[in-house]
């Protein structure tokens, strides 16, 4: 009897211990996506402020800004990295000749003027009186040295001689010539319409300092630039600490306020786990976080100490269908898929509405998006009719092969196709490194994914997505639908060298019409970038290319 | 004699490490996925010829046996190559991250032992009591609870709700720690910086609990069953019959004999704590080796994966050796 009572007592105690744990867990794990159908964001709106925090009277100096980044910073060498996170940190320490505004316009930063002398030569005049963090003046020598180091083969000597990772971003640059101490000329191998856009991604380093510390190894241990913040200390996988550079020349004239930064200190913390990133913000440990999942936004908005902001994203999402395989070799089937999926519903459920429909191959934010291209309307009858016409009135089965991060989206599409069109669709998850070669080889039926369009220009993007796949080249390197149309190939190549804007519009409009009609993919949406910050962070906002510019940000308390 | 044996065992690790190096080299290259393609294949702008050039720089265009030769030839000189992603020597990256991982593992081990040893002994002595049943139920929970879940739970309670302990990192920058060894707790003591000591200990608590919970549970269960076993032995009855005090009987006669299986488990746990902390490091943004390993594997950063796996292998080998040495002290009848 006593033993039975004991057993019951033990059971109840254990239950009492476990239940709160289970209850609390509900808050931590991915809660079921809230079903909030938001109004469709008009395409012209580039930035939507979700929460308006009452702004304090004026900018305030002082304080430490702590930013939670999604992934490690790979390098502190402006010439030798290729990822966005690294760029975010580097561009708070280093400035370039030009930069970009939040709505994607190229403006002058360290340059006072930029002139296109002939189709292959740009001349830049530098602002006077700019200095690097060690006090050395910025001269044409530094600009030439920076770009020589990037474009010369094997110019980076540490840890083993290799070519700068950023060379590929400015490959058509042939040489840089010094005209006078504050004037440089960039000579291109061929006319290159996106030169100014791409130049935003290159930052200037000091020649004299670089040589005095014995080259790359010494330089990355203590980098020196001409940006708003100077390097103090840091470890790439942990945190990077910067302090305000008081003699900063001020930055781009078109991006006010011009002058030294407001915050005394900036710390970038690497917090890869997203629930920890959100928790760190809630706990007041960081001031700004990036990569906020949309399902958590309502929870953050309910906290008066926090604010959430969004902006146009740069990653069009689609489901690519292998046009060389049955049943997707029939254009009617591909169009039927586009008619048969309620993309607005998926956008509302998976992204809680934080995204914009993708009408065709180009993001509506792309500078060359054709406004006449409208998304396929949701029309199940039409989809069924097309399937019948193609001889699939009884449906068919297929597999969507995806990497783990696209699983949820793929499941949603599969669910739509099952319910609306009666197709037998299943989803299989792979390690991306294993799946990608199979997709390029045309061995799979369909995949769901996205492709970056951060230059907002079709060059590079269309070449990867809709040009015929040419092994060993950059053409079709992301063409998972095996799409191949000689006319499109021809137009993609023509667009790469055409400098006349009107003609480029013509070229890209034609590509967009053809691809929309032939529908090698189910066009989905462009998710917005969502970032969150403490309520006292002022004049802050995410930018479409994911960069966090802290020069203009201040803390109100 | 013991010294010679230990030296002999240490020498054995050389062929073991060689085998590990060759195996990890081959396995990484047998895994589908091309590092250059992962790095550049989805980049926004890729210049023609850029990917070939990268393959050449990484020696990926050479035949496999040539690559293996290059790797081994460098490795015997202590050069494990450089990371494709970080463009830094692998040894330097590992040296930067290793102290964080060791510190966390020691924290977790300490937590595990502090919890497990009293519970294990108490449960055995008071077998089938309420305390015994509760602690064994707790141990069951500890073994089955995934560390990432416990970690997030701890963060929600102690960081977000109570704001007692920090969520991420190893120390507050404002503590102004002068790094000497890379072990922040030790460095704080060495430099006499109390602020840094408090800060680094505060940062260490939650990850240590999350990581050490499994160890605590495992050790408590093993210790309890071996204690139950040894408390039934004749020498314990004899000791009691002689009138030896009960505490003395438990601690001196029973515990010492129950330690052999426990030390074995603790030894294995040391390896597990050092090599199985990827998830806890991820949840607590702890800048250790585990996080580096995960990233390296997904990006097929071959040299970095090779380096990290070799460190893990070495850890297991050394932990086992340490356990064997400990045996000889606990039970003088055992020799190496």
DSSP secondary structure string for all residues of B60-99:
TTS-HHHHHHHHHHHHTTT---B-TTT-SBHHHHHHHHHH
Q: Which of B53, B97, B167 sits opposite A237 (nearest CB)?
A: B97
Look at B33 and A162 and tell me if their CB atoms are within 8 Å: no
Q: Which of A267, A272, A477 sits opposite B46 (nearest CB)?
A: A477
From A534's Cα to the closest Cα of chain B, the distance in A is 14
B46-66 pLDDT, tens digit per residue, is 777 788 888 888 888 889 999
From B16's Cα to the closest Cα of chain A, the distance in A is 29
pLDDT at residue number A311 = 87
Q: Please answer whether residues A168 and A80 qualify as being in contact, where contact means their C-beta atoms are separated by less than 8 angstroms.
A: no
Comparing C-alpha atoms, which of A224, A220, A205, A231 is closest to residue B86?
Answer: A220
Give A-chain residues touching B38 at CB under 8 angstroms.
432-433, 436
User: CA A326, CA A288: separation in Å to the nearest integer?
Assistant: 48
Q: Is A432 on the interface with B (CB under 8 A)?
A: yes
Q: What are phi and psi of A111, to 5 degrees?
A: -85, 145
Find which of B167, B207, B305 to mutate to test the A interface (most A CBs within 10 Å of its CB). Answer: B167
User: Nearest chain B Cα to A473, which residue?
Assistant: B48
pLDDT at residue number A197 = 87
CB neighbours (10 Å) of residue B144? 9
Look at B159 and A283 and tell me if their CB atoms are within 8 Å: yes
pLDDT at residue number A547 = 76
Give B-chain residues touching A71 at CB under 8 angstroms.
295
From A166's Cα to the closest Cα of chain B, the distance in A is 10
* Total H helices, total E strands in chain B: 15, 0
Q: Is B232 on the interface with A (CB under 8 A)?
A: no
Q: Which residues of A105-136 are buried (b: 16+ CB within 10 A; e: fewer)?
A: ebbbbbbeebeeeeebebbbbbbeebebbeeb
From A314's Cα to the closest Cα of chain B, the distance in A is 11
Three-class DSSP category at A424: strand
Contacts with B, A 372-431, CB within 8 Å? 431
Domains assigned to chain A: 2-295+530-555 (3.40.190.10), 317-527 (3.10.105.10)
Q: Is B89 on the interface with A (CB under 8 A)?
A: yes
Q: Is B261 on the interface with A (CB under 8 A)?
A: no
Give A-chain residues touching B298 at CB under 8 angstroms.
431, 433
Cα of A430 vs its chain's centroid, Å: 23
Which residues make Cβ contacts (< 8 Å) with residue A130, sequence separation at least 6? A110, A137, A138, A226, A249
User: CA A253, CA A250: separation in Å to the nearest integer?
Assistant: 8
Instruction: Answer yes or no: is pLDDT of B42 > 70.
Output: no
* Total H helices, total E strands in chain A: 16, 23
Look at B292 and A434 and tell me if their CB atoms are within 8 Å: no
pLDDT at residue number A129 = 95
User: Nearest chain A Cα to B31, which residue?
Assistant: A434
Three-class DSSP category at A308: strand
pLDDT at residue number B326 = 86
State ipTM.
Answer: 0.87
DSSP secondary structure string for all residues of A490-527:
HHHHHHHH---HHHHHHHHHHHHHHHHHH-SEEE-EEE
DSSP secondary structure string for all residues of A425-441:
EEEEEE-HHHHHHHHHT
User: CA B336, CA B323: separation in Å to the nearest integer?
Assistant: 10
User: CA B274, CA B101: separation in Å to the nearest integer?
Assistant: 6
**In chain A, which residues have pLDDT < 70?**
1-57, 546
Three-class DSSP category at A220: helix
Find which of B28, B39, B45, B91 to mutate to test the A interface (most A CBs within 10 Å of its CB). Answer: B45
Q: Which two tokens stand for residue B85?
A: 């992603």
Q: Which two tokens stand for residue B194?
A: 């109390």
Find which of B285, B294, B307 to mutate to test the A interface (most A CBs within 10 Å of its CB). Answer: B285
User: CA A241, CA A234: separation in Å to the nearest integer?
Assistant: 6
Q: Which two tokens stand for residue A6?
A: 């004991």
Instruction: Answer yes or no: is pLDDT of B129 > 70.
Output: yes
Q: Which CATH topology does B97-297 take?
A: MetI-like fold (1.10.3720)
Q: What is the DSSP letter of B269?
A: H
Q: Which two tokens stand for residue A184?
A: 């440089």
Q: How far apart are the first and last CA of chain B?
A: 10
From A82's Cα to the closest Cα of chain B, the distance in A is 8
pLDDT at residue number A498 = 87
Q: What is the DSSP letter of A358?
A: -
User: CA A350, CA A525: separation in Å to the nearest integer?
Assistant: 11
Give B-chain residues touching A269 at CB under 8 angstroms.
168-169, 285
Q: Is B285 on the interface with A (CB under 8 A)?
A: yes
Comparing C-alpha atoms, which of A293, A254, A244 is closest to residue A273?
Answer: A293
Q: Is B18 on the interface with A (CB under 8 A)?
A: no
DSSP secondary structure string for all residues of A109-167:
SSEEEEEEEETTEEEEEEPTT-B-TTSPBP-HHHHHHHHHHHHSTT-B-SSS-B--TTG
Look at A6 and B291 and tell me if their CB atoms are within 8 Å: no
Quote the mean pLDDT of chain B.
89
Which residues make Cβ contacts (< 8 Å) with residue A12, sequence separation at least 6? none
Share of residues in chain B with pLDDT > 90 (%)? 45
In the A/B pair of chains, how many CB contacts fall below 8 A?
Answer: 178
Give A-chain residues touching B153 at CB under 8 angstroms.
21, 24-25, 28
Look at B45 and A269 and tell me if their CB atoms are within 8 Å: no
Three-class DSSP category at A212: helix
pLDDT at residue number A302 = 92
Which residues make Cβ contacts (< 8 Å) with residue A200, sequence separation at least 6? A96, A98, A99, A100, A106
Peptide bond into A159 cis (omega under 30): yes
CA distances (Å), origin A346, targets A405, A416, B149: 16, 9, 29
């Amino acid at each position: 009897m006593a033993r039975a009572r004991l057993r019951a007592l033990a059971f109840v105690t254990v239950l009492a211990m476990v239940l709160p744990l289970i209850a609390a867990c509900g808050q931590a794990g991915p809660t079921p996506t809230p079903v909030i159908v938001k109004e469709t964001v008009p395409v012209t709106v580039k930035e939507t402020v979700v929460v308006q925090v009452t702004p304090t009277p004026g900018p305030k100096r002082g304080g430490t800004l702590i930013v939670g980044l999604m992934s490690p910073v790979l390098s502190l060498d402006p010439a030798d990295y290729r990822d966005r996170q690294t760029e975010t940190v580097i561009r708070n320490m280093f400035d370039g000749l030009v930069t970009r505004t939040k709505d994607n316009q190229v403006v002058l930063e360290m340059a006072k003027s930029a002139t296109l002398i002939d189709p292959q030569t740009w001349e830049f005049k530098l602002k006077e009186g700019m200095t690097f963090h060690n006090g050395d003046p910025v001269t044409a020598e530094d600009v030439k040295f920076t770009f020589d180091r990037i474009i010369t083969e094997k110019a980076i000597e540490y840890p083993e001689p290799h070519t700068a990772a950023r060379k590929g971003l400015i490959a058509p640059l042939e040489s840089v010539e010094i005209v006078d101490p504050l004037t440089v000329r960039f000579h291109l191998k061929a006319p290159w319409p996106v030169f100014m856009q791409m130049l935003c991604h290159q930052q200037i380093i000091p020649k004299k300092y670089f040589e005095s510390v014995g080259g790359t190894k010494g330089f990355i241990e203590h980098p020196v630039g001409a940006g708003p913040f100077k390097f103090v200390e840091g470890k790439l996988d942990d945190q990077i600490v910067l302090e305000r550079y008081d003699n900063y020349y001020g930055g781009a004239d078109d991006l006010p306020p011009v002058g030294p930064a407001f915050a005394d200190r900036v710390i970038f913390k690497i917090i890869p786990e997203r629930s920890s990133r959100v928790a760190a913000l809630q706990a007041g440990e960081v001031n700004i976080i990036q990569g906020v999942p949309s399902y958590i936004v309502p929870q953050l908005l309910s906290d008066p100490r926090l604010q959430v902001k969004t902006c146009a994203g740069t990653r069009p999402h689609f489901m690519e269908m292998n046009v060389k395989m049955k049943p997707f070799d029939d254009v009617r089937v591909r169009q039927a898929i586009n008619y048969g999926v309620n993309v607005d519903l998926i956008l509302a459920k998976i992204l809680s509405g934080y995204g914009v429909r993708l009408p065709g191959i180009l993001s509506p934010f792309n500078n060359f998006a054709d406004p006449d291209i409208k998304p396929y309307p949701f029309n199940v009858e039409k989809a069924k009719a097309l399937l019948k016409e193609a001889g699939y009135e009884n449906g068919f089965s297929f597999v969507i092969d995806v990497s783990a991060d696209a699983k949820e989206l793929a499941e949603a599409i599969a669910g739509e196709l099952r319910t609306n069109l009666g197709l037998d669709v299943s989803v299989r998850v792979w390690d991306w490194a294993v799946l990608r070669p199979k997709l390029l080889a045309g061995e799979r039926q369909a995949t769901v994914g996205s492709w970056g369009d951060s230059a907002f220009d079709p060059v590079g993007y269309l070449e990867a997505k809709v040009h015929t796949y040419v092994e060993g080249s950059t053409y079709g390197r992301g063409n998972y639908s095996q799409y191949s149309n000689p006319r499109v190939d021809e137009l993609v190549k023509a667009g790469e060298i055409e400098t006349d804007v009107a003609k480029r519009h013509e070229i890209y409009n034609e590509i967009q019409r053809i691809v929309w009609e032939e529908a090698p993919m189910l066009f989905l949406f462009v998710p917005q970038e969502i970032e969150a910050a403490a309520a006292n962070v002022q004049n802050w906002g995410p930018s479409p290319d994911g960069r966090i510019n802290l020069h203009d940000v201040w803390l109100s308390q | 004699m013991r010294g010679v044996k230990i030296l002999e065992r240490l020498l054995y690790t050389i062929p073991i490490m060689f085998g590990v190096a060759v195996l990890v080299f081959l396995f990484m290259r047998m895994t589908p996925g091309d590092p250059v393609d992962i790095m550049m294949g989805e980049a926004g702008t890729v210049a023609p010829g850029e990917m070939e050039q990268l393959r050449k720089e990484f020696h990926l265009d050479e035949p496999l046996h040539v690559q293996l030769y290059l790797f081994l030839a460098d490795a015997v000189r202590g050069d494990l190559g450089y990371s494709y992603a970080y463009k830094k020597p692998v040894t330097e990256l590992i040296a930067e991250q290793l102290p964080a991982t060791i510190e966390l593992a020691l924290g977790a081990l300490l937590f595990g032992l502090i919890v497990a040893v009293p519970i294990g002994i108490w449960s055995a002595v008071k077998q089938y009591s309420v305390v015994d049943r509760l602690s064994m139920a707790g141990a069951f929970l500890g073994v089955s609870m995934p560390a990432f879940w416990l970690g997030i739970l701890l963060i929600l309670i102690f960081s977000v709700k109570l704001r007692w302990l920090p969520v991420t990192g190893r120390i507050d920058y404002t503590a102004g720690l002068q790094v000497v060894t890379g072990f922040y707790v030790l460095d704080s003591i060495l430099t006499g910086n109390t602020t840094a000591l408090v800060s680094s200990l505060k940062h260490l608590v939650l990850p240590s609990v999350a990581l050490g919970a499994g160890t605590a549970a495992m050790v408590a269960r093993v210790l309890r069953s071996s204690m139950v076993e040894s408390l039934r032995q004749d020498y314990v009855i004899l000791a009691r019959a002689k009138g030896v005090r009960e505490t003395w009987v438990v601690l001196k006669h029973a515990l010492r004999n129950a330690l052999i299986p426990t030390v074995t488990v603790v030894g294995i746990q040391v390896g597990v704590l050092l090599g199985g902390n990827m998830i806890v490091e991820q949840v607590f943004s702890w800048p250790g080796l585990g996080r580096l390993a995960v990233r390296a594997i997904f990006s097929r950063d071959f040299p970095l994966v090779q380096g990290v796996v070799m460190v893990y292998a070495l850890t297991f080998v050394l932990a086992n050796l340490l356990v064997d040495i400990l045996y000889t002290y606990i039970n003088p009848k055992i020799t190496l």
